[in-house]
Amino acid sequence: MAKKSVLLVDDDAVFVDAVSAVLETRYEVRTAANGREALAAIAAAPPDIVVLDVMMDHLSEGFDVARALRSSEASRAIPIVMLTGVDEVFNIRMEIGESWFPYDRYLQKPVAPETLLATLGELLG
Amino acid sequence: MRLTGTSGELHQVFAAELLDRIAWFVRLRWAAGAALLAFAAAAPRVGMPLEWGRVWLVAVVVLAYNAILHALLATWRRSDQADYRWLARCTLIQILIDLAALVLLVHLTGGAASPFLPFFTFHMVIGTIMLSARTMSAVAGAVWLACAALFLGGAGPLGHLPIPLEMRAAVLGALACALGFTVYLTDTVASRLKERGVRLFRLAEELRAKTAELEKLLAEMHAIEARKSHFMLLSAHQLRSPLATVKTSLDVLLQGYVDPASPRAAGLILGASERVEGLLRIVGDLLELAKLREAAQRAPWTSGVNLAQLAVDVADALTPVAEARQITLESSYDADVVLARGVPPDLEYAIENLVHNALKYSRPGGAVHVQVRRSGEFGVLEVRDQGIGIPPEFLADLFVEFARAPNARRHTAEGTGLGLAIVKEVAEAHGGRVEAESRLDEGSTFRLLLPLHGGRTQDPRVTKSERRVTAFSE
């Protein structure tokens, strides 16, 4: 069976490299450094799951990507894991007026490698 | 007391008060008219001279013009054009009519022997309170003359009692004294009260102005606090992200996800080390900022600080950085820009920060111009670049801790978001300020304005509110 694919989106190249090393043990890993690259990569070839940082160039760039994914028929079913340095409460505060949180899991950095693998394993079945 | 040299608003307050008093005066007159009618009806029945019954005539006149005044008062209140002088004139006319009625009343009720004579003093009191002592002295004189003419002129037929001339003269003398003293005493008390009123009003006015100023300051502070807490939250990300990267890299290495001997492992270690360096820079800047805020500079105040020399030193030190980035670093200096007092290491830190920023946000091939000049009482250090610029909506937050414009973030990961907050703090500690102008994609100009003779003489926290950081966009 072919490996499932993960798109890892984060603007910190070192973090991306470290997490990639973990994910590569089970998945085919692609990476993007910002929201624009992420959407382009998904449009080119939809991954099985997306792991998103929240704050990149813009404060809530990760959420923008997640919303774009959920708004499109083609990408609606792709599970989304937020993996980010800010806590969920802060994000909810920034998103005041937004009752729709378009993600499946919220993990705060730093996350233990086994936790990340377990979360992805659960979402991908 | 006349209201000379008082503000228009004060005049309005007095006008409003005068209007209230006129209203009170009108109410009082209703009572007086009614009392007169009662008197006219009762007098002949209780053995007073029959002629005193004619007092009803005066009562009717008084009630009639009071009705007119009552109607006018309602219009004045509505019209809201309560000009003090005009109202004072109306009051004077009322008092004159009242007094004329009173003279007539005295005339009808026995002249020098009239029981109504004491009522003159009553009007003198009211008049002096409402108008002025000078006006009322003249009025008193006129009243006295009218009485004298009546008492001495032998207008006997109108019910005057047969009183000897000497007695009438004595009554006139007493009347003169009574009128004069009433005006004088009332004025003494009333003018003191009026003065106090004016002082109170001025105080209230000052208080209002101060309160408004304080409220404005408070609102400003709230806004700054709100922005600060916003950026503090951002700083959580700024601190946590590199820490998370370090932790994850170490976990990945320790748990054997990457071969320790591989180039990838070396890359992770190098990356973690870089992140730690960045964290150290942030912590260093935070400490710097805290120290400046606590007014505990790294170095003591020095007299005769040559701003141009500091700028030359900074430019020399940063020339290699400029060359490495292929940026031309130009400079021009006025030789005699010397601050009376200053903390050289702090100033150097601020200048370095501005020049370094200019280099950091310039594109290869661009130029950065550093200029030191004298402008009036200020030494001005200007750093101009042709770099990426600052989004206009971000200019206001430029000097707030941890604030970094999105385009700055995109341009370079380097930068703690604290540099400009430190520059601002240094400028303010020197009694100066920092300004920024920018056009997106065309470049920015930062200007450090430091007073040549106004180094700090007091605690910076005391004078902080007097200084303003101006951030504006062209």
| Residues 268-297 of chain B whose Cβ lies under 8 A from any Cβ of chain A | 268, 271-272, 274-275
Shortest CA distance from B232: residue in chain A: A90
Q: How far is A43 from chain B (nearest CA, A)?
A: 23
> CB count, 10 Å around CB of B441?
12
Better pLDDT: B10 or B467: B10
State the pLDDT confidence band at B84, using cuts at 50, 70 and 90: confident
Residue B2 confidence (pLDDT): 43
Q: Does residue A86 belong to the interface with chain B, where contact is any CB pair within 8 Å? A: yes
ipTM: 0.89
Q: Does residue A88 belong to the interface with chain B, where contact is any CB pair within 8 Å? A: no
Q: Does residue B409 belong to the interface with chain A, where contact is any CB pair within 8 Å? A: yes
CATH number at residue A70: 3.40.50.2300
> B306 - beta bridge partners?
B338
How close are the terminal C-alpha atoms of chain B, in Å? 55
Cβ contact B268–A18 (<8 Å)? yes
Residue B371 has pLDDT above 80, yes or no: yes
Q: How far is A19 from chain B (nearest CA, A)?
A: 7
Please report residues of A whose CB lies closer than 8 A to that of B262: none
With CA atoms as reference, report the closest residue to A94 among A51, A62, A68.
A62
Distance CA B204, CA B52 (A): 53
Distance CA A108, CA A124 (A): 20
Task: Give B97-144 pLDDT, tens digit per residue.
Answer: 999 999 988 888 888 888 888 889 888 998 888 888 888 999 999 999
Cβ contact B240–A12 (<8 Å)? no
Task: Let me know: does B355 contact B315? Beta carbons within 8 Å.
Answer: yes
Residue B80 confidence (pLDDT): 64
Exposed e or buried b per residue across B329-355, where buried means at least 16 C-beta atoms within 10 angstroms of its C-beta? bebebeeebbbebbbbebbbbbbbbbb
Cβ contact B251–A112 (<8 Å)? yes
Distance CA A56, CA A34 (A): 6
Task: Let me know: does B106 contact B150? Beta carbons within 8 Å.
Answer: yes
State the pLDDT confidence band at A26, using cuts at 50, 70 and 90: very high
Task: Give B179-206 pLDDT, tens digit per residue.
Answer: 999 999 999 998 888 888 889 888 998 9
Task: Let me know: does B97 contact B71? Beta carbons within 8 Å.
Answer: no
Count CA within 13 A, CB hemisphere, residue B406. 11
Tell me which H or E stretch contains B87. Answer: helix B84-108
State the pLDDT confidence band at B470, using cuts at 50, 70 and 90: very low
Domains held by chain A: number: 1
- What is the percent of chain B with per-residue pLDDT over 70, rounded to a whole number? 88
Cβ contact A22–B247 (<8 Å)? no
Q: How far is B407 from chain A (nearest CA, A)?
A: 8
As a 3-state breakdown, chain A gives helix, strand, coil percent values, each rounded to 5, of 40, 20, 40
B241 token code pair = 């992200």
List the domains of chain B with CATH numbers.
8-213 (no CATH), 270-466 (3.30.565.10)
Task: Give B21-53 pLDDT, tens digit per residue.
Answer: 888 889 999 999 999 999 888 888 887 777 777
| Structural domain containing residue A120 | 5-124
Complete edge-to-edge strand list for the sheet that includes strand A5-9: A28-32, A5-9, A49-52, A80-84, A105-108
Please report residues of B whose CB lies closer than 8 A to that of A86: 233, 236-237, 240
- B112-B162-B113 Cα angle (round to 5): 25
How close are the terminal C-alpha atoms of chain A, in Å? 14
Better pLDDT: B450 or B297: B450
Task: Give A2-11 pLDDT, tens digit per residue.
Answer: 889 999 999 8
Please report residues of A whose CB lies closer than 8 A to that of B248: 15, 18-19, 109-111, 113
Task: Give A45-83 pLDDT, tens digit per residue.
Answer: 999 999 998 877 776 788 888 888 888 888 888 999 988
Q: Which of A3-7, A82-86, B13-17 has the lowest mean pLDDT?
A: B13-17
Task: Give B320-355 pLDDT, tens digit per residue.
Answer: 999 998 999 998 988 788 998 888 888 999 999 999
Q: Does residue B229 belong to the interface with chain A, where contact is any CB pair within 8 Å? A: no
- Residues with Cβ < 8 Å from A10, sequence gap 6 or more? A16, A19, A31, A33, A51, A53, A56, A83
Token pair 């937020």 is found at A82
Q: What is the CA radius of gyration of chain B?
A: 42
